[in-house]
Amino acid sequence: MKTQPIYLEDKLREINESGRLAYRSRSMPTWCPGCGYFSIVDGLPGALNDAGIAPKDTVVVSGIGCSSRFPFFVNTYGFHTLHGRVLPVATGIKTANDALTVIAVGGDGDGFAIGGGHVPHAARRNVDITYLLFDNGIYGLTKGQTSPTSAVGFRTSTSPYENFDQPLNPLMMVLTYGATWVGQAYAGRPQQLETLIRQAIAHRGFSYLHILSPCVTFDKTDKTYQRLGNHVVDIPREHDTGDLGAAIALAAKTDMPALGLLYRTVRPTLSDALDAIAEKAGYKGAGTRRRAAA
Amino acid sequence: MRTDVQISICGSAGEGTIAAGDILRNALAAAGYRIISFDAYPAEIRGFGKCVARLRATTEQVYSLKEKSDVLVCLNDEHGIPHVGDVRDFGAVIYEAKSITRLTEGAHVSAHVRPGQVPYPLALRELSERATGALRSRNLVALGYLAGLYSLAPEPFLRIIEKKFKGKGAVAEANRKAFEAGRVVGTQTFKLDMVAFGPPTAGLQSVMLSGNAAVVDGCLDAGIDNFFGYPITPATTIMERLATEMPKRGKRLVQTEDEISAIAATVGAGYTGARAATATSGPGLALMSEMLGLGVMAEVPSVVFVSQRGGPSTGIPTKTEQSDLNMALYGSPGDAPRIVIAPTNVEGCYRCAGKAFEMAERYQTPVVVLLDLYLSNRYETVVMPAKPPFEPNCDKPLPKQDLGNGYRRFALTSDGVSPRALPGTAGGMHVVTGLEHNEFGRVNEQPENHEAMSKKRHEKLLAALQHPDFTHYKRFGDEGRVEIGLLAWGSTFGECLAAMFRARTEGMRCAAMKVVMLQPFPAAAVAEFIDQCDVVLVPELNYQGQFASLVQAQTGRLVHRYDRVCGGPMVVDEILAEMLRRVAAGRQKAA
């Protein structure tokens, strides 16, 4: 088989003409070489570009952790908040200004350890934001400690003998919390990841995308490219994305993570509900935004 | 003739004590009297706890309740008896007329009325039953009796009764009948006490507001866009009233899962340019402290109303205290300066609430408005301004040429405030972060940058000391050199002012200063005041003398602490006694 040669110049022109560079900031990501997060920082600009959402109308909100440095690497509005508080801040932003596309990003520790109390409420309120959860099963920024999605028996600096806590299953949790769009992606499959990010943003309501992503520095045994690459499977074509029970059953199979859209439903968003309440209270005007930016 | 009458109504929860107090204060306000009123009721939702409704109706501006009431209405013997002693000489005690033979000794109010107090036994039960066929209208019978006895016009009462029970059909009619029944008896009673209502102030257009209700009006008049809150006594009524009022104006309120989420969403909304607030008490403020620090670091406006209650920990949720000052001033990681203001009366609640939004926006910072249970729950008549005295937009203008690739969100400017690009602004994209950052918002840990940015965050707030149309502090009483000066903050100032005026009538040269702006602190003005006093006394409702410590640290001058943690407001007599003690000690030393 004859392969076409790839020329650097062609590749650069292609990237330039794609428009996605407008979404990338001048700061180079601070992640370790080989980190799974690089495919996410590449996937989000692609998804926003395809969806035609301008950088000025996008706010990327994050918590604290390796993944939460994300806003610095994209050229949108960004709010790097506190450990675990990404969802309430994002809720405030969206509630105050519906015209903004709000993307919440954070890691497994940020979202399901310290911030675990906020996830059910953002989901049940159906805040119209997209939550990209980078799951590497470890605390990377503090140099390798056990996280709520670390496997039993996993050894880190804070569990030097072994981790004895059962890992959480975030997908099952958000499905039962009432999230209206739930999907799973893998950093090792960037094309599919970008497509899923685009679908998650397009969804009106709380969309949750769980992204499995290897930590190449602190995890040499569990969520590695090799192990994840061997185990991930695509969601079967016959899966009914409107069937919550089937979605939960898929989410339960953690030994063979299923990639794709697990569940989708339509329900009024928080802003819809607040507008309906205003109408009930007798408000006749349109929109509840204070003022548009210049 | 000037009027100054204080009426207490005592009864069990469920006897309509608080409701009677509410009708009475509203009726008297509608008649044109000025009112200050503070009720006490048990924490239990249902039960047989004691309720005391208390109000003072006057024709002149007053600042506190009196220790002695002029009139006591006992709907219930057991709860009324301990309060008979609180009635002044030649004041009135109104109680259920009962046959004494059927009661154990001392179980009837009449056995406790002292010589000099004037007893008015009244057939409350009988009148209520005859008027409405039920015993539960005793409270309205008592109100009617008061109106009759003191020749108060019945119309305001009937209007308020009508309004209060609107839509409840027969209830309004029954209450009106009960009121009339009591009034007839009142007019036929020979008045022996020395309590009298003079003519009210003509044309006084006031509204009756609690401190928390005034906060809500301030928020609405300042154009609040978003509110996020979590219920906690005694701040909850702020959220409850906003939940009714904000949607009518197309504004959004969300009850969050906890206080952390409430302040986080408030900061998120503030980041987009909205006027956003939350309200809580001490335990909630503790949870909010980390996010307040982010608000300081990211320079995002937010307003936090904190109604203090007894602490520490869960403390005494239904009692008043001023012990969250230190947490409001300092409670965040690192050097996290924010603006802290504390109104001293209900009108001040309105003004501080509205001004807090101006300041938050102007200086791009969290603003904490400190209230306490006594201020949140007490009622006063307030003369509202004709139009809201608040600026709708205080954002520093952002020149177009500043936008683009080199936009500096945290530009070092002469006043320390950097014009902000709100999300949605073309060419204004930037990241705000809780990490130390440079002018562009990029992470920067260099020592000279950290020093410059720390200076910016602190010094930009100093302009708040000159914030327009705001009373930062105010001196009352004698001018110039005085024997003793009272320095106070928050609700306690009302009692201090009353004590100071009493002390002047007793021949003391004295003055009182209230400090509303607690951070940044008006150190020069307070130091000048201290220097003009032989002795300075700082009464406050906490054990640690938190405000006194602040004053000493900020002015470098010593003051005398007077700390009480009694769960109730300061007692004017006790402040006065302390003043006399201090002045006497000073005079002795001088002699």
A82 has a chain B CB within 8 A of its CB: yes
B444 has a chain A CB within 8 A of its CB: no
- Its domain, for residue B322, covers 208-382
Q: Return the H-helix or E-strand segment holding A43.
A: helix A37-51
State how beta strands B366-372 and B339-341 pair: parallel
Cβ contacts of residue B561 below 8 Å, gap of 6+? B538, B540, B545, B548
- The answer as to whether B508 is a domain residue is yes
Residue A292 confidence (pLDDT): 45
Q: What's the pTM?
A: 0.95
Residue A21 confidence (pLDDT): 87
Quick one: chain B helix, strand, coil %, rounded to 5?
Answer: 40, 20, 40
Cβ-based contacts of A55 with chain B (< 8 Å): 429
Give me B422's structure tokens.
């709100």
B432 has a chain A CB within 8 A of its CB: yes
Segment B431-460 shows an average pLDDT of 97
State how beta strands A207-212 and A233-234 pair: unpaired
Q: Which residue of A has its CA nearest to B421?
A: A293
Cβ contacts of residue B401 below 8 Å, gap of 6+? none
Tell whether the model's pLDDT for residue A294 goes beyond 50. no
Q: How many domains does chain A have?
A: 1
Give me B319's structure tokens.
């009692």
Single-letter amino acid, residue B307: S
Single-letter amino acid, residue B410: F
CA–CA dist B131, B306 (Å, integer): 45
Segment A256-275 shows an average pLDDT of 97
Residue B99 confidence (pLDDT): 76
B254 and B309 share one domain? yes
Last residue of a domain, one of B382, B406, B429: B382
Output the domain CATH number for residue A54: 3.40.50.970
- The answer as to whether A168 is a domain residue is yes
Segment B184-194 shows an average pLDDT of 96
A22 has a chain B CB within 8 A of its CB: no
Segment B271-287 shows an average pLDDT of 98
B224 has a chain A CB within 8 A of its CB: no
Segment B105-132 shows an average pLDDT of 93
Tell whether the model's pLDDT for residue A289 goes beyond 80. no
- The answer as to whether A54 is a domain residue is yes
- Its domain, for residue A92, covers 24-277
Residue B48 confidence (pLDDT): 65
Assess contact for B341 and B356: CB atoms under 8 A.
yes
Last residue of a domain, one of B356, B382, B408: B382
> Longest C-alpha distance within chain B, in Å?
92
Q: How many domains does chain B have?
A: 3
The Cβ of residue A55 has, within 10 Å, a number of other Cβ atoms equal to 21
Residue A19 confidence (pLDDT): 85
Residue B368 confidence (pLDDT): 98
Confidence of residue A293 (pLDDT cuts 50, 70, 90): very low
Output the domain CATH number for residue B257: 3.40.50.970
Q: Which of A25, A68, A80 to mutate to test the interface with B (most CBs of B within 10 A)?
A: A80
Task: Note the pLDDT tens digit of each residue in B61-87.
Answer: 888 999 899 999 999 898 899 999 999
CA–CA dist A151, A143 (Å, integer): 17
Segment B424-440 shows an average pLDDT of 97
Q: Return the H-helix or E-strand segment holding A208.
A: strand A207-212
Confidence of residue B43 (pLDDT cuts 50, 70, 90): low
Convert A61-130 into a string of H (helix), E (strand) and C (coil).
EECCCCHHHHHHHECCEEEECCCCCHHHHHHHHHHHCCCCEEEEEEEHHHHHHHCCCCHHHHHHHCCCCE
Residue B210 confidence (pLDDT): 97
- The answer as to whether B396 is a domain residue is no
Closest by CA to B280, choosing from B228, B347, B243, is B228
Cβ-based contacts of B427 with chain A (< 8 Å): 56
Q: Which residue of A has its CA nearest to B252?
A: A274
Does the distance separating the beta carbons of A293 and B421 come in below 8 Å? yes
CA–CA dist B57, A73 (Å, integer): 64
- The answer as to whether B422 is a domain residue is no
B577 and B533 share one domain? yes
Task: Note the pLDDT tens digit of each residue in A32-74.
Answer: 999 999 999 999 999 999 999 999 999 999 999 999 999 999 9
% of chain A exceeding 90 in pLDDT: 88
- The answer as to whether B440 is a domain residue is no
Cβ contacts of residue A126 below 8 Å, gap of 6+? A178, A180, A205, A206, A267, A268, A269, A270
Closest by CA to B469, choosing from B306, B361, B354, B344, is B354
Does the distance separating the beta carbons of A92 and B268 come in below 8 Å? yes
B163 and B19 share one domain? yes
- The answer as to whether B406 is a domain residue is no
The Cβ of residue A210 has, within 10 Å, a number of other Cβ atoms equal to 27
Q: ipTM of this predicted complex? A: 0.96
Burial of B125 (0-12, 13-18, 19+ CB in 10 A): middle
Chain B: give the shortest CA distance to residue A202, in Å: 19
- The answer as to whether A290 is a domain residue is no
Task: Note the pLDDT tens digit of each residue in B326-364.
Answer: 999 999 999 999 999 999 999 999 999 999 999 999 999
CA–CA dist B303, B283 (Å, integer): 17
- Compute the Cα dihedral for B512, B563, B335, B230 and give only its sign: negative
Output the domain CATH number for residue B71: 3.40.920.10
Residue B44 confidence (pLDDT): 58
Assess contact for A144 and A157: CB atoms under 8 A.
yes
- The answer as to whether A75 is a domain residue is yes
Task: Note the pLDDT tens digit of each residue in B486-521.
Answer: 999 999 999 999 999 999 999 999 999 999 999 999
Assess contact for B576 and B507: CB atoms under 8 A.
no
B150 and B285 share one domain? no
Residue B202 confidence (pLDDT): 83
CA–CA dist B402, B421 (Å, integer): 10
User: Mean pLDDT in chain A?
Assistant: 94
Segment A125-152 shows an average pLDDT of 97
In chain B, residues 279-318 whose CB comes closer than 8 Å to chain A:
290-291, 294, 298
Does the distance separating the beta carbons of A88 and B424 come in below 8 Å? no
Output the domain CATH number for residue B527: 3.40.50.920
Q: Which residue of A has its CA nearest to B420?
A: A293
Q: Which residue of A has its CA nearest to B225?
A: A290
B170 and B217 share one domain? no
B151 and B216 share one domain? no
- The answer as to whether B411 is a domain residue is no
B298 and B253 share one domain? yes
Task: Note the pLDDT tens digit of each residue in B212-222.
Answer: 999 999 999 99
Q: How would DSSP label each residue in B211-268?
A: HHHHHHHHHHHTT--EEEE---TTTHHHHHHHHHHHHHTT-EEEE-SSHHHHHHHHHH
B231 and B260 share one domain? yes
Assess contact for A78 and A60: CB atoms under 8 A.
yes
Residue B586 confidence (pLDDT): 82
Closest by CA to A265, choosing from A174, A135, A186, is A174
Closest by CA to B372, choosing from B329, B321, B328, is B321
- The answer as to whether B399 is a domain residue is no
- The answer as to whether B132 is a domain residue is yes
Last residue of a domain, one of B382, B416, B448: B382
Task: Note the pLDDT tens digit of each residue in B536-572.
Answer: 999 999 999 999 999 999 999 999 999 999 999 999 9
